[in-house]
Chains A and B, each alone.
Chain A
Amino acid sequence: MTTDALVQLRGIVKEFPVKSRSLFGSRGDKLQAVAGVSLELRRGETLGLVGETGCGKSTLARCVVRLMDLSAGHVIFDGEDISTASHAKLRPFRRRMQMVFQDPYGSLNPRRRVGSIISDPFVIHGIGTARERKVKVQDLMALVGLNPEHYNRFPGDFSGGQRQRIGIARAIALRPEFIVCDEPVSALDVSIQAQILNLLHELQGELGLTYLFISHDLSVVRHVSDRVAVMYLGKIVETAPSEALYDHARHPYTRALLSAVPAFAPDASCAQAAVVLTGDPPSPLDPPHGCRFHPRCPRAQARCATEEPNLVPRHGDGAEHATACHFPLADGELLTTRTAAEVFP
């Protein structure tokens, strides 16, 4: 373990009880949304977390900032294990880690004024007098590119992008070190996405922030991340520095995701034809044995159904690039599968 790790996640598991009630009592099934995730975030870096909808990204995010209790595993923030800390014990950590939410409409109370929303962190942590707080709120609004004179307005008076700026202002109010961005731009127009991403990037430089950046959009993640982790059905299948992942993806799932990113100028670098995965992701209620991806994997063999692959460097990669696959793709090797034309003739 390197010493500059700000946040360490060790074997995080989050299960939800699923009650299927019948006349004769209830059956206690468990849905495993996050199935043992270990990651490490270094100070000042951005770790991108990508995966399909429903793969457990947001659940993991909520576990990291302890909006949910963990079923197992540890969240270690700056050397302290906060995975079982009580509400009171978490309070000082709330100042140091924050979250930006996906839905700019749902994450702001429509019945409260924007100034009041942004000053919440100060009020809750008892910082400053009312007058000082107002100055701080207006400074924050200016910092995120809002007109400070609008502090008296309601969220309904702002556009989606502006609302996301309000959410960011609230998140950075207490000068945290670590921010979890849970799909912060997926609800926004493409033109606005870039503005918000640039804002997040500028703030990172100014405030020395560490980001866990969650998205299902690979092009967005590529743009912002130093390192990327790919999640499938509650597990990390591949993690690598951003460039390495995009240029030498080893895991068939990563390759399939990458091929699904629309390219505006198809050229030689896009030699890989679109790989169309068949079927839906399996139910996390009853995940496949062995490698969780094997029912959909074009390279799957008998071993994949029985033996779960470890997340380790493959094909002589450095320690930074780990893949959980028995048959990882070599450099330049193409993932051969049915192309879009074959699936949709």
Chain B
Amino acid sequence: MSTAPAIRARGPWALAFERLRHDKAAIASAITILFAVLVALCAPLLALLTGHSPIEQFSETGLSPAGIPVGPGPEFWLGTDALGRDVLVRIAYGTRTSLLVGVVASSLAVLIGAIVGIAAGWHGGTIDTVLSRFMDVVLSLPFLVLALALAALVGPGLGVSVFLIAFFSWASVGRVIRAEARSVREREYVQAARAIGAGSVRIMFVEVLPVVSATVIVYATLLIPSAIAFEATLSFLGLGVPPPTPTWGNMLGDAMAYYKVAWWLLLFPGAALLGITYAFNVLGDSVRDALDPRHDQTIRRGAG
């Protein structure tokens, strides 16, 4: 059949990706995030390049004769901390902790939230009531107090941090997904699937999941920065990954005693934390805009 240039049937996902590709803020934040990932991966390379391991204390070169940290210079690009450790290398290693905790904890939170949310929204009735009340309880817990108590009880560590962050994050996701699953359940296409003879499991995977997954993706992206900030908070309070492993949070915590004489201790880890959380937030917003069904049409500019 000879027709005019074929119009490709582009799905909602392809359209969303197309929109994302034309969003300058999304591109900029994606580049920032990629850069952070690169830094995290190349942290040992950076240590090799500068000759400074993240936990080595350079009491000769890294501290002034009076025992004050030295500022940014040719030897220590971003200065040293109170123990004479290289701030740049420590920030690079801290990126690993932040990204790892951020991604793992928020994935875990979204996974739990999606399962509980779909279960509650789909079944309704008693299951819904029980799960919804449970989510309300989790949301109303004073997270910092509980996190402090728990971390103190089992001792600080990476796994504990991930668990704590996931536990205090999943409920908000669960509530949104519950509402979404509930509204999908009442749609006519679900009725149509039932009329054909589809079972609950098939309907959940074929009809509900694709619709809910847009929300899941947006939430996953938006949870990462809050998880990173959460981890930094725990580390700042000394309840995160224990020293000497560097994290942005414990670097900022250490800086509190010295920032009057060594501004770089506060500025650089703080900038790293702000930069990465901001980049994830912007990307999350862009993803949400791109997946928003209200933007159903993309106007293609030019021929290409």
Contacts and interface: CB of A to CB of B under 8 A. Distances in A.
Interface of A: 62, 65, 67, 87, 90-91, 94-95, 98-99, 101-103, 106-113, 120-121, 124-125, 149-150, 152-154, 156-157, 167, 170, 174
A110 B293 contact: yes
Given A67-B195, A99-B192, 12 more contacts: A67-B194, A98-B196, A99-B195, A101-B188, A101-B191, A109-B187, A111-B11, A113-B11, A124-B196, A125-B197, A156-B12, A157-B9
Contacts, number: 72
Contacts of A95: 197
Contacts of A152: 9
Given A149-B1, A154-B9, A154-B12, A107 B196 contact: no
30 contacts: A65-B195, A94-B196, A95-B197, A98-B195, A98-B196, A99-B192, A102-B188, A103-B188, A106-B188, A106-B189, A107-B188, A107-B189, A107-B191, A109-B187, A109-B210, A110-B12, A110-B211, A111-B210, A111-B211, A112-B206, A120-B193, A121-B197, A124-B197, A124-B198, A124-B202, A150-B9, A153-B9, A156-B12, A157-B9, A170-B196
* 10 A-B pairs with the lowest CB-CB distances in the bound complex, closest first: A94-B197, A107-B188, A106-B188, A153-B9, A111-B210, A109-B189, A152-B9, A99-B195, A101-B188, A121-B196
B296 A156 contact: yes
Interface string B195-225: 1111100100011001100000000000000
A120 B193 CA distance: 8
Contacts of B296: 156
Chain B contact residues: over half helix, strand or loop, or mixed? helix
Could you say which interface size class chain B belongs to?
Answer: 20 to 34
Contacts of B191: 62, 67, 99, 101, 107
B152 to A, nearest CB: 41
Contacts of A157: 9
A101 B154 CA distance: 57
Nearest to A87: B199
A65 B292 CA distance: 35
A150 B3 CA distance: 13
Contacts of A87: 199
A102 B191 CA distance: 12
Contacts of B192: 99, 101, 107-108, 167, 170
Contacts of A174: 196
A62 B196 CA distance: 13
Contacts of B193: 120
Contacts of B194: 67
A87 B187 CA distance: 20
Contacts of B207: 109, 112
Contacts of B11: 111, 113, 154
